[in-house]
Chains A and B, each alone.
Chain A
């Protein structure tokens, strides 16, 4: 287990630079097209925002594949969920709608759903995914659990609760110290307290 490399996302490290978005285009299975989503999310009452990258989480039981009426989405032996098979995909967007993480992208100009495949062209030959290679802040990271333990901090989680749906993923995220799966809809957030009022507008001088 410890020899197997894992993909880790630590959203709190993201600086929104888009190196991952730019690098994803360089991945051989979808050159010229980026599969990464980079979102801005609310970050406390001040109105400031945090950027957050999303790669495919590679669910153990992938919702995208379960809802596909054409059986076009396949998971390989390592648990990597791949882009829809071109001969099968009917471009219905069921997967786009159903994915709890919002990962699949419908490429309407070619009528094909494409998504992050964990850089199979690279990881299958022992290299690292492009995004996790270049990420300047190590918000996206790839390596063994031992390497993670030696250089990084924070508990890793791969269980998520989306309302009534429990999801387990191949990709890990760095959690805060609260035990248990990440309740995505809870809005739990512990920003530094200055962030409520970054410029001290309400604070007595």
Chain B
């Protein structure tokens, strides 16, 4: 029974999240270390190089890694403070089993026997598919590969999927439809060379911060910047054009831009005729999607749509960058296709400075989706439903192709099957569904129905609190392997320290489970290197071909871009340079993008749009970053972003507590009044759990093709609850002010007279864009006093 063994508060007392505020020996003036380990940051798909400083098998600090070409020493605040996740008081040091009095440490034999015994018992009683596996895209590629093999040949279940289902799958489907391959087509160095950068649905500054430097370098030589987002994100502040669209209307904006590019005769007809197919159908689909039509749908003035289209269409080269804003929708794939169509119509692919590109989110968001932990996939980017692909992988694995199960459920569908009672046992690693899945209440109820739940983790995550068995696994810096970055560059992760206490490497744990399941012959591995060598062979001949990649080459060549089919192959930084594509016809494909509204739209009861996203100091479900004190200080708790006009209507000033309610649930949190968000939309970042979980509100409707949930748009109602204390200002928090009263500014509580007036006339409609109002001082930040 996967219910909490103790109340949340008691579990938090024992297992955190607690803060780690300082290196192991405190803030010594001179940092002492006995070795330095070149590796990469764990906190996003850019995979910045970093050097970890190690003393006595503890990570004590870091040094910028100037020699790694992607980031040349640059790091975001998460990268700077990532070393503080090591030596953490919350670190799990033993395998745990649930008891009536909470979790109790046990032996590895006992823990693994329970896991394997329970999963086998459930399968014996209810069939092999009554057990599911959850993986994650922050795992190394070796682990992702092993997990797929464990599900198919160890457990024999159809149902394995991963948290990349909540991240990259809309882009993956869209790129496979258009190009036959799921990878960003360009190395990031192409961004620097381009003439126009179009960023849509990507908060680059906070979610892929280093990419900012590439965009700014493009602008140094005169490139234009277009940003489309419901919020004026930091990267938009100086953009040449900002398209402040309504959440969930991206395809209308992109289709209207394509319409206008066609109308202005800016299509590269030679390229389209020679190297693509489906152009006419795609143009027909956007024939009625004029800029004027799109203005009504998106809320962006038609003239701006036209100007942006001309900016894009008239440039010699262009890079279109998109991320989850575009993809986290029930039409995520349609949105991606609309972006690709715009790029293809302009001939922007396979050339320097040209391409549509997804910005992969998770640490191994690219590599984690290549080699078999997706529900429909086998290593090498192969298709589990394809008899030829099944035969190829079976030959490497030494199994009968008929031993491989059919494709199973996607990540959210697995949770729905748990809710129905169809799936009764779950093995999960690198996945925190209680925070990351939409509709938190439903996820919690489903988890509580599990007959058995084993979690492999390094901290006791919110989801792991529900586990029957918790297997203490390894942190990023405690194991080695490869990951693939957002560019498709495979890089080597190096272990800096061993797992502490009785914790073990994830790889050892997965292999051990495989052996105990009776699949010894499929899990002969003693090291990650052995896993990688098999992965290379299993990928050979696939679209995602790693056959020529060795760990030694990765170190010597600062990573290798796949495909790399042989040891003398240099890798492939830019795809499609010969303008042939791994599609049946060899041509790139336009995909029609008829308009489809979001699954849930605003109405009388829920009149405001809601969208979610990230902040720069937190990573995904926050399991790691909510434990690093300095990152917590930077943005301590979720705030609800509200435009000054809407705030005035609600009678809310920054810091007041508001209640945001959707058809799924409700959340109370402080308001942050800011002019950078649309007046008809509110935003809450999603990194927190329990009563602070933004996903209490989100809509669990899935894209029919990618099965990604619609995190980025639903309808809510916003109400003022009460006055709050001053909202925590996440900026410049450490300034110490003079206390002698010698002319320093007033302390933060002078931020202004807070209006306690209740909103007048709750029957009124909320702002719709035409409302007048002063977007003024309600959003004044609490500036730290400066002399």
Q: B591-614 CB contact bits vs A (8 Å, 1 = yes)?
A: 000000000000000000000000
CB < 8 Å neighbour of B301 from A105, A106, A200: A200
- Cβ of A39 within 8 Å of any chain B Cβ, yes or no, is yes
- Cβ of B636 within 8 Å of any chain A Cβ, yes or no, is no
> When chains A and B are docked, how far (Å) is the Cα of A25 from the Cα of B737?
18
- Cβ of B235 within 8 Å of any chain A Cβ, yes or no, is yes
| Known contacts A48-B676, A198-B242, A17 near B209 by CB under 8 Å | yes
Q: A131-168 CB contact bits vs B (8 Å, 1 = yes)?
A: 00111111000000000000111100000000000000
* Least CB separation from B777: chain A residue: A47
- Cβ of A43 within 8 Å of any chain B Cβ, yes or no, is yes
CB proximity of A145 to chain B, nearest CB, Å: 15
CB < 8 Å neighbour of B736 from A37, A106, A130: A106
**Among A75-83, A178-186, A188-196, the stretch in contact with B:** A188-196
Central interface residue in B30, B296, B675, by most chain A CB within 10 Å: B675
CB < 8 Å neighbour of A200 from B73, B220, B304, B771: B304
| Known contacts A21-B732, A191-B238, A48 near B769 by CB under 8 Å | no
* Least CB separation from B74: chain A residue: A136
Q: Decide if A26 touches B675 in the complex (CB within 8 Å).
A: no
**Among B5-13, B442-450, B555-563, B739-747, the stretch in contact with A:** B739-747
- Which B230-245 residues have a C-beta within 8 angstroms of A? 232, 234-242, 244
Number of interface residues of B (CB under 8 A): 85
- Cβ of A19 within 8 Å of any chain B Cβ, yes or no, is yes
Q: Decide if A26 touches B80 in the complex (CB within 8 Å).
A: yes
> When chains A and B are docked, how far (Å) is the Cα of A136 from the Cα of B204?
11
* Least CB separation from B680: chain A residue: A199
Interfacial chain B residues near A23, Cβ < 8 Å: 75, 80
Interfacial chain A residues near B300, Cβ < 8 Å: 200
Q: Decide if A201 touches B769 in the complex (CB within 8 Å).
A: yes
| Known contacts A15-B235, A28-B30, A134 near B64 by CB under 8 Å | yes
- Which B581-636 residues have a C-beta within 8 angstroms of A? 616-617, 630-631, 634
Q: Decide if A199 touches B299 in the complex (CB within 8 Å).
A: yes
- Cβ of A6 within 8 Å of any chain B Cβ, yes or no, is no
> When chains A and B are docked, how far (Å) is the Cα of A154 from the Cα of B744?
35
Interfacial chain B residues near A22, Cβ < 8 Å: 77, 80-81, 630-631, 634
CB proximity of B229 to chain A, nearest CB, Å: 10
Interfacial chain A residues near B634, Cβ < 8 Å: 18, 22
> When chains A and B are docked, how far (Å) is the Cα of A46 from the Cα of B81?
34
| Known contacts A18-B616, A204-B301, A97 near B743 by CB under 8 Å | yes
| Known contacts A31-B27, A138-B216, A201-B769, A43 near B237 by CB under 8 Å | yes
- Cβ of B734 within 8 Å of any chain A Cβ, yes or no, is yes
- Cβ of A58 within 8 Å of any chain B Cβ, yes or no, is no
- Which B196-237 residues have a C-beta within 8 angstroms of A? 205-206, 209-210, 212-213, 216-217, 219-221, 232, 234-237
Interface residues on A, range: 35 or more
Q: Decide if B244 touches A198 in the complex (CB within 8 Å).
A: yes
- Which B758-787 residues have a C-beta within 8 angstroms of A? 769-771, 775-776, 779, 781, 783-784, 786-787
Q: Decide if A133 touches B73 in the complex (CB within 8 Å).
A: yes
CB < 8 Å neighbour of A205 from B241, B295, B787: B295
Q: B714-737 CB contact bits vs A (8 Å, 1 = yes)?
A: 000000000000000011101111
CB < 8 Å neighbour of A151 from B22, B29, B220, B732: B220
Interfacial chain A residues near B523, Cβ < 8 Å: none
> When chains A and B are docked, how far (Å) is the Cα of A128 from the Cα of B238?
27
Interfacial chain A residues near B732, Cβ < 8 Å: 21, 37-39
Interfacial chain A residues near B236, Cβ < 8 Å: 198
Interfacial chain A residues near B787, Cβ < 8 Å: 93, 96-99, 102, 104
CB < 8 Å neighbour of A50 from B31, B77, B237, B616: B237
Interfacial chain B residues near A74, Cβ < 8 Å: none
CB proximity of B312 to chain A, nearest CB, Å: 16
Q: Decide if A17 touches B781 in the complex (CB within 8 Å).
A: no
| Known contacts A21-B732, A29-B29, A31-B29, A47 near B234 by CB under 8 Å | no
CB proximity of B643 to chain A, nearest CB, Å: 8
CB proximity of A176 to chain B, nearest CB, Å: 11
Q: B4-47 CB contact bits vs A (8 Å, 1 = yes)?
A: 00000000000000000010001111110000000000000000
Q: Decide if A199 touches B244 in the complex (CB within 8 Å).
A: yes
> When chains A and B are docked, how far (Å) is the Cα of A35 from the Cα of B786?
13
* Least CB separation from B292: chain A residue: A205
- Which B670-685 residues have a C-beta within 8 angstroms of A? 674-676, 678-679
CB proximity of A28 to chain B, nearest CB, Å: 6
Q: Decide if A31 touches B242 in the complex (CB within 8 Å).
A: no
Interfacial chain B residues near A17, Cβ < 8 Å: 76-77, 205-206, 209, 234, 616
> When chains A and B are docked, how far (Å) is the Cα of A26 from the Cα of B296?
50
> When chains A and B are docked, how far (Å) is the Cα of A107 from the Cα of B735?
8
- Cβ of B711 within 8 Å of any chain A Cβ, yes or no, is no
Q: Decide if A19 touches B769 in the complex (CB within 8 Å).
A: no
Q: Decide if A205 touches B209 in the complex (CB within 8 Å).
A: no
> When chains A and B are docked, how far (Å) is the Cα of A138 from the Cα of B300?
31
CB < 8 Å neighbour of A109 from B232, B730, B736, B786: B736
Central interface residue in B64, B217, B241, by most chain A CB within 10 Å: B64
Interfacial chain B residues near A200, Cβ < 8 Å: 244, 299-301, 304, 769
> When chains A and B are docked, how far (Å) is the Cα of A205 from the Cα of B391?
58
CB proximity of A154 to chain B, nearest CB, Å: 8
* Least CB separation from A95: chain B residue: B787
CB proximity of B707 to chain A, nearest CB, Å: 32
Q: Decide if B242 touches A195 in the complex (CB within 8 Å).
A: yes
- Cβ of B694 within 8 Å of any chain A Cβ, yes or no, is no
- Cβ of B302 within 8 Å of any chain A Cβ, yes or no, is yes
CB < 8 Å neighbour of B786 from A12, A37, A133: A37
* Least CB separation from A14: chain B residue: B234
Q: Decide if B731 touches A16 in the complex (CB within 8 Å).
A: yes
- Cβ of B644 within 8 Å of any chain A Cβ, yes or no, is yes
- Cβ of B61 within 8 Å of any chain A Cβ, yes or no, is yes
Q: B627-663 CB contact bits vs A (8 Å, 1 = yes)?
A: 0001100100000000011000000000000000000
Interfacial chain B residues near A39, Cβ < 8 Å: 731-732, 783, 786
> When chains A and B are docked, how far (Å) is the Cα of A105 from the Cα of B22?
21
> When chains A and B are docked, how far (Å) is the Cα of A14 from the Cα of B295?
31
| Known contacts A137-B213, A138-B213, A192-B239, A31 near B234 by CB under 8 Å | no
CB proximity of A82 to chain B, nearest CB, Å: 15
* Least CB separation from B733: chain A residue: A21
CB proximity of B769 to chain A, nearest CB, Å: 5
> When chains A and B are docked, how far (Å) is the Cα of A28 from the Cα of B237?
34
CB proximity of A38 to chain B, nearest CB, Å: 5
> When chains A and B are docked, how far (Å) is the Cα of A23 from the Cα of B79?
9
Q: Decide if B301 touches A26 in the complex (CB within 8 Å).
A: no
Interfacial chain A residues near B234, Cβ < 8 Å: 14-17, 51
* Least CB separation from B62: chain A residue: A26
- Cβ of A34 within 8 Å of any chain B Cβ, yes or no, is yes
Q: Decide if A15 touches B220 in the complex (CB within 8 Å).
A: no
CB proximity of A40 to chain B, nearest CB, Å: 5
CB < 8 Å neighbour of A106 from B62, B206, B737: B737
> When chains A and B are docked, how far (Å) is the Cα of A15 from the Cα of B617?
13
Q: Decide if A15 touches B769 in the complex (CB within 8 Å).
A: no
> When chains A and B are docked, how far (Å) is the Cα of A109 from the Cα of B22?
18
CB < 8 Å neighbour of B675 from A46, A102, A105, A154: A46
Q: Decide if A97 touches B742 in the complex (CB within 8 Å).
A: yes
> When chains A and B are docked, how far (Å) is the Cα of A134 from the Cα of B74?
4
Q: Decide if B237 touches A26 in the complex (CB within 8 Å).
A: no
Report the 7 A-B pairs with minimum CB-CB distance, sorted nearest first: A32-B27, A47-B675, A15-B205, A136-B209, A15-B234, A153-B220, A102-B786
User: Could you jot down 10 A-B contacts, CB within 8 Å?
Assistant: A37-B784, A48-B675, A49-B781, A51-B731, A93-B787, A108-B739, A152-B220, A153-B220, A201-B771, A205-B295
Given contact pairs A15-B209, A47-B674, A152-B220, enumerate 18 new A-B contacts (beta carbons under 8 Å).
Answer: A13-B212, A16-B205, A16-B616, A19-B77, A32-B22, A47-B775, A49-B676, A97-B742, A106-B736, A128-B73, A134-B80, A136-B74, A136-B213, A194-B239, A199-B678, A199-B679, A200-B304, A200-B769
